[in-house]
Amino acid sequence: MRWSRSVAASRKAPRWLTQWEYAHRGLHGPKGGKHVPENSLAAARLAIEAGMGIECDTQRTLDDHPMVFHDWDLKQLTGEDGATESLLKDELQQLTYIGSDEHPATLAQLLDLVAGRVPLLIEIKSKAGYDVARSCKLVADGLRGSMGPHAVMSFDPRVARWFRRMEPQIPCGLVMREDEHGHTQRAWQRRLVFWIARPDFLAYHVAALPSRWVAGLRARGLPVLAWTVNSPETRATALRHADAPIAEGAGLA
């Protein structure tokens, strides 16, 4: 199906995008009496074993390596003080996650582990004053020649715009929410970032569904993923109002 130009400039979304359920930051949490950290290689292995796609986060180190890590601050996940982006790759990989012997992984390590067996949704982190184009370039370089289906996405509409211009073969999505967090609480803000991004798909906050605007985009061919599906109730919402869930915990099938 070819999209309307007003939706996504006639780009096609890959079929695989809506044919999988995605483990949010891998299959993390308590597993078999052990703690499996989010975004860890152990969480990715469990997702692969379960036959699930993997959603993960990336940000760059001080020496420009894309790492599979969510938080800007190290404290909550590793117990260490400092900013994630202030460390070199080797310094970050010497840290261990709290309650585990797992270390933060590079994007290259995750790609090697997955080896094309399941699809990857790679969220590129951004914040005010951040050179997100630099992160886009590093992720794109890391994905070059990689096996299997993959897509990138971000709350920052500049990510999708960068990939559409510089790496058009890589599907790019826009992550959105409507609550007190972020910058898209108002309808005009959501429409503005959508216009800037012109994404191939949306990853929409399940708490904001159903949405007449999202339903309209979906009806016109734009794939919609729902995050974070973490309960039977949010799973039912995602299955009714989106094309694929990004799930964890009690929201898993």
pLDDT tens-digit map of 181-200: 989 999 999 999 999 999 99
What is the reported pTM?
Answer: 0.94
What pLDDT does 10 receive?
54
Enumerate the domain spans of the chain.
21-251
Peptide bond into 149 cis (omega under 30): no
**Other beta carbons less than 10 A from residue 148's beta carbon:** 13
Which CATH architecture group holds 21-251? Alpha-Beta Barrel (3.20)
DSSP output for 117-165: SS-EEEEEP--TT--HHHHHHHHHHHHTT--S-EEEEESSHHHHHHHHH
| Structural element, H or E, at residue 29 | strand 29-31
pLDDT tens-digit map of 82-125: 999 999 999 999 999 999 999 999 999 999 999 999 999 999 99
Which pair of structure tokens corresponds to residue 165?
Answer: 């211009």
Average pLDDT, the chain: 95
Spell out a b/e string for 149-173, using b for 16 or more CB atoms within 10 Å of the CB, else e. Answer: bbbbbbbbbbbbbbbbeebeebbbb
**Alpha-carbon separation of residue 79 from 73, 99, 100 (angstroms):** 10, 10, 12
